[in-house]
Each structure stands twice: as C-alpha cells, then as structure tokens.
Amino acid sequence: MSLPASVTIVEVGPRDGLQNLRQVLPTADKVRYIGLLAASGLTAIEVTSFVSPKAVPQLADAAETVAGIRDLPITPIALVANLKGARNAVAAGVRRLNFVLSVSTSHHRSNVNRTREESLAELAEIVDLAEKIPGFRVRASLATAFGCPFEGQVPIAEVLRWVGAVATLGITEVTLADTVGFGNPELVRQVLLACRDRFPGITCGVHFHDTRGLGIANALMGMQCGVTVLDAAAGGLGGCPFAPGATGNIATEDLIFLCEEMDVKTGVDLARLCEASRFLQSTLPGVDLPSRVFRAGPPKPRGPISE
Amino acid sequence: MSLPASVTIVEVGPRDGLQNLRQVLPTADKVRYIGLLAASGLTAIEVTSFVSPKAVPQLADAAETVAGIRDLPITPIALVANLKGARNAVAAGVRRLNFVLSVSTSHHRSNVNRTREESLAELAEIVDLAEKIPGFRVRASLATAFGCPFEGQVPIAEVLRWVGAVATLGITEVTLADTVGFGNPELVRQVLLACRDRFPGITCGVHFHDTRGLGIANALMGMQCGVTVLDAAAGGLGGCPFAPGATGNIATEDLIFLCEEMDVKTGVDLARLCEASRFLQSTLPGVDLPSRVFRAGPPKPRGPISE
C-alpha cells in the first residue's frame, strides 16, 4: 500500500467541533483546550471562525479566543465566509484563513446566505487583501464536495468547476469537504484523481465527517491518493449547523491511530491528545465524544512486527 | 479500486452483539430480532452460541432461540468452543458451526479455559462428528489474529501456524478476527496476503471490531484483498466478554452502506435492516447502538453519478 511518509493533521475541533454545540464554552475553556491540543504536537489548528455571532453563537468570541492563544507555538487558522469576516480575522491577528464555499447551490445558500458567485467575488477581494499582508495565506474549503444534504449527489464536474474557480484567483490550497458523510472511498478516489489530473498545481486536502461510518476509510483512501493534509476534530465532535443531519468530523485520535500504526508520521502524541479530549469532555457533561480511540484509551506502544 | 462484485455478510448481532450485554433479552425478543434481520435480506446469521451459560448468561437460551427461528429462510450458524457445545448445537438442529480458537495463548485461556492444543483436539472430534451428518459444516474463527488484549501484537507467523493447524483437519473456511480492534489496514493486507499465499485452498473471512475506529477501513482492505465473507453486527454492538476493553463489531448498516455505495452487492435492504436495529434499540433502553448509519438514518436512494 502506497502511503505518504508523513501528513499534516489540521485540527478543526475548536471550530468545527464546537460550532454545532448548544452549550457555549467559556473563552477560557476554549483557550485551555487549544493549549492542550498544541501540547500534543498539533501545529495547524483551526481555532475559530469569524462569522455572524447570530449564526454561530458558539464562536462569537473569535477575537478573544485568538488573543488568548497568541503565545502558543501553533499556526492558528480561522474559517471565514466573507470579506467582513476576513477583515475581522486580520484585525485579530490571524494570518491563515480558510474560506468556505459549497459546491452545491442550496447548501451554499443555507450556509452563507448568498450565491456561490457572490462568495467567489468576495474571495477575490480577500486574495487582494492577502497580497498586502506579509505571511497571509488563504485556503479554500469546498463544502458538499462529496454530496449535499439538500441535493444529494454532486457531480464531479461541478467539484472541478469550483476548484478551477478558486484556482483562477491564485489559490493553491483547497480542502475537499464531505459535509454530511455521503462520500465513499471509491468516490473519494475518483474526485481526488480528477482534481490532481486537472489541477496539478493545487494541493488538495480532505475534510471528512463520519456521519455514515466511512470517514476513516475515506481518509485512508485520501492518503492512498497522495493527500497529506487532513482535517480532523479531537474527540470527533462537529457538524455544519446549516446542514440537516450533520454529525461529527472524523476524530483526530482515530486518524492518528490509523496513521501511526501504518508508520505515517503525524508528529502528534496520542496519549496527550486524549488529555485534550478528556478536558473537553469534562466541560461538556452529557455530550459523548464519538472518538473510538478516546473511549478505548490510547493503545500501548507496540514492538516491531515480525513473522 | 478492485473490489468483489458481491459479498456475503455474516450477521453476528444476535450472538456477538448480545453476548456482552448485562441485560438479558427474552428469547422471544431474540427470535423477533433475528426475524427482522432475515427480512432485510440477511441469510447467514450467527444466531447464538452453545457455550457455558455461566460464562455467557445472555445466550443460555441457545436451543430455544434456534427452535424459535426454525421457519426462517436463513442458514443459522452457532458459535461453539468445544465438543460438548457442538453436540448441543447439533441436537438443537444447527448444521453450521463456527468454532472459536484464539491465536494468542492468553486470550484463548481467558476465553475458553483450556490450551489452544486442547481446543484443536476437540475441533478434530467435531470435524469427525461433521462427517457423519449431512450438510454439516464447520468454520474456524481465529480470534486475536490482529492483536491480543493481553499480549499486544500477534506475529503473522503465529496466525499462519493456526490457519495451517485447522486446515490440516480439513477445514476450508477460516475467519480472521480482530477481537479488540488492534488491526490496521496495512496489517490486514499483510495477514490476508500471507494467508492466501500459504493456504490458497482456504477461504478467509474477516471479523472486525471497531474498538479503535478502524473497523470499516479494515473491512474495505479485506475486500480489496479479495475477501467476500465479512462478519458484522446490526447496530454495532458486541465484544468478547473475556477480552478486556472489547467493544462492538463493525455495524452491519455501515458495512452495507460502504459496499452498496461502491456497487458491491450485499442483497440486504438497508432501510429494513435499520428496522431490525430499531427494534433491538427499543428492547435496550439506555444502550446506544454505535452504528453511524443507524443513527443518521438510511440514505436516500441515489441516482447515477454523472460528470
């Protein structure tokens, strides 16, 4: 099996993991949670989103959260959906943005209340803004790339069309997201290979939700197709508040167990990561973290395989 | 991706799924559950085990359960761990047995309270018994083939040794079981290819637990290696009572979603299977069925993929 020697896990627990929870975590708990994630070795962490506090009350403290983690040895990433959010993120000191745009019309409308074309025009302005600020980078996350909760299947041609649209703006990092877990490994393979063929200059990441149990299998297929950037949420919480039936991201613990057991290096200490999830669990009584490895406990170190 | 055109799902929910539950289900509920499983299209169903009622009180009603499902259009399978159990199963009318033997010494001792060699001698007697009864077939399930809760890693050579041992008795159907979810897709690939190379006359099935989140990815790798017989438990319950930390089997719903989405035929109606799990759930207040597809609901029928 051909796998990358190492991968970058983009930890989205503080953003995607929390955004759909009814119970609003105090900023101090978010800061501590992010600190524990960083202590496990995670360096790329999506720490919040700069979006309407009415739409996502959980993340209304985005600027305060960013201020609280200033001294951590990580690259904080913030999700934004429009130019205003991008400006607010920049003002808060964030230099890496994740711009979300759905491949399907109806989820895009439900999620950000505008057309995809309107969002693309805003993304163009964000890219202009980025050019004026040293170290500023924008990634595009294409939601519903493997299926839409309103429209069902999403044609691969439509995925390619929107990868092409953001590529035209000069964006080179794209994350393909399976918003409600409709993707299967064969579809993942087809979409990733089509993207690689058509846009060899684009680095594709993946973002899987485990809504229908295939998230880790999809992540493995992503790595088999050469993907080295994978989103995951510690504990396995998550889900888009504007996608009916959405449930958690693949759990970072489970993804790291998958990788490390197969000698794909992640740089993350699984036992310490479980401590971050344990803290998160302690702040959320009544919420069960779906991560299997978190529930089972980190595995014992293993020796070499020998016949 | 090379996958089989169709697979046989061996539904182990009534046996493995229930055996670890504290709450003992009435026989009538088990019979109804098995009936609903059969109505979904499942035909190979491990309905119970003939083992010590002290060891597994949940399945003390094995003979009554078998009597209750006599008219279903299925092939009932019973797990046994010794000659006495096999005789009891035969007396109850079962003609397909699944004999369990662990690859690791300590789990075998914990599970059946004898040595592997003693069990192998009993299996030889069961094979002799089988030759006298028309239609009688014995499969061997090798537990801890991908890791042991007591010993950790299990050498591939040891797996091959025990596949060879049961093959010597004339057994041609072997299930490799990951008792506590230590397996990863690369290990699964190595073990399955080693078995195929060394024992081309043996049909290998797989039995995965999702204790550490890799169960479905392991099942996919199994199919990629040519496996066409896969165990799963509706709802995703399960676990060996004598393996510390054991949790549920891969959920039949999730496995069927994986297969059918990739055009691997299972013959099972997913919506009807969810009805079986819904009934099971109704009999088990306070127990959460882990199956993701069961929780998310069966997916809507999809149209053809088109660019």
Q: What is the full DSSP assignment across B67-127?
A: HHTTTSSSEEEEEESSHHHHHHHHHHT--EEEEEEESSHHHHHHHHSS-HHHHHHHHHHHH
Q: Identify which of B157, B304, B4 has the alpha carbon closest to the alpha carbon of residue A187.
A: B304
| Average pLDDT of chain A to the nearest whole number | 95
Instruction: Say which of B210, B288, B306 has its CB closest to residue A155.
Output: B306
Residue of B nearest to A217 (CA): B217
Cα dihedral A10/A14/A16/A21 (nearest 10)? 160
Strand (E) positions, chain B?
8-11, 44-50, 75-80, 96-102, 137-143, 173-178, 203-208, 229-232
* Structure token pair of residue A154: 């999403």
d(CA A237, CA A245): 13
What's the pLDDT at A307? 34
What's the pLDDT at B1? 86
* Structure token pair of residue B96: 């397909």
Q: Which residues pair with B177 in a beta bridge?
A: B207
What's the pLDDT at A300? 61
HEC string for A200-242? CCCEEEEEEECCCCCHHHHHHHHHHCCCCEEEEEHHHCCCCCC
Residue A256, C-beta contacts closer than 8 angstroms, at least 6 positions apart: A9, A232, A266, A268, A270, A273, A293
pLDDT tens for each residue of A82-114:
999 999 999 999 999 999 999 999 999 999 999
Instruction: Identify whether A240 is a catalytic site residue.
Output: yes
What's the pLDDT at B302? 53
Instruction: Say which of B185, B210, B254 has its CB closest to residue A220.
Output: B185
Residue that has been written with the tokens 């000698």 in this structure? A263
What's the pLDDT at A3? 97
Q: Does A2 touch chain B (CB under 8 A)?
A: no
Q: Does B261 touch chain A (CB under 8 A)?
A: yes
Put residue B2 in one of left, alpha, beta given phi > 0 → left and psi -120 to 50 → alpha.
beta
Contacts of B184 in chain A (CB under 8 A): 257-258, 261-262
Q: Which of A204, A225, A240, A259 is catalytic?
A: A240
Please give the average per-residue pLDDT across A169-182, as a whole number: 97
Q: Identify which of A84, A54, A66 has the alpha carbon closest to the alpha carbon of residue A15.
A: A66
Q: What is the pTM (predicted TM-score) of this model?
A: 0.96
d(CA B130, CA B86): 9
Q: Does B216 touch chain A (CB under 8 A)?
A: yes
8 Å CB contact of B288 and A292: no
Distance from CA of B157 to the nearest CA of A (A): 5
pLDDT tens for each residue of A38-48:
999 999 999 99
Q: Which of B195, B240, B259, B274 is catalytic?
A: B240
Could you tell me which residue, A297 or A219, shows the higher pLDDT? A219
- Domain B8-296 in CATH 3.20.20.70: yes
What's the pLDDT at B300? 61
Q: Does B198 touch chain A (CB under 8 A)?
A: no
* Structure token pair of residue A291: 């991560």
What's the pLDDT at A306? 37
Evaluate if residue A264 carries a pLDDT over 50: yes
Torsional sign, CA A251, A257, A263, A268: positive
d(CA B40, CA B272): 5
Residue of A nearest to B211 (CA): A292
Instruction: Say which of B187, B210, B296 has its CB closest to residue A212.
Output: B296
What's the pLDDT at B129? 94
- CB A143, CB A101: distance < 8 Å: yes
8 Å CB contact of B292 and A185: no
Confidence band (pLDDT; 50, 70, 90) for A301?
low
Could you tell me the residue ranges of all domains in chain A? 8-296
Pairing of strands B229-232, B8-11: parallel
Q: Give residues 274 to 293 of A whose Cβ lies within 8 Å of B.
A: 288, 291-293
Q: Does B5 touch chain A (CB under 8 A)?
A: no
Average pLDDT per 10 consecutive residues for chain B, totaling 307 residues: 96 97 96 98 98 96 98 97 97 97 95 96 96 94 96 96 98 97 97 98 98 98 98 97 94 98 97 97 95 85 43
B11 backbone dihedrals φ, ψ, rounded to 5° = -80, 115
Q: Decide if the complex's ipTM is over 0.85.
A: yes
Contacts of B253 in chain A (CB under 8 A): 213
Cα dihedral B54/B55/B57/B60 (nearest 10)? -80
Helix (H), strand (E) at residue A164: helix A156-168
What's the pLDDT at B301? 52
Contacts of A299 in chain B (CB under 8 A): 182, 212
- CB B257, CB B220: distance < 8 Å: no
Put residue B164 in one of left, alpha, beta given phi > 0 → left and psi -120 to 50 → alpha.
alpha
d(CA B55, CA B242): 9
d(CA A169, CA B300): 36
Distance from CA of A48 to the nearest CA of B (A): 26
8 Å CB contact of A153 and B303: yes
What's the pLDDT at A1? 86
What's the pLDDT at B16? 97
Q: Identify which of A198, A204, A180 has the alpha carbon closest to the alpha carbon of residue A102.
A: A180
* Coil, strand or helix at A28: helix
Q: Does A193 touch chain B (CB under 8 A)?
A: no
What's the pLDDT at B87? 97
d(CA B211, CA A22): 28
* Coil, strand or helix at B140: strand
Q: Give residues 51 to 70 of B whose Cβ lies within 8 Å of A.
A: none
* Structure token pair of residue A161: 């069309």
d(CA A243, CA A112): 11
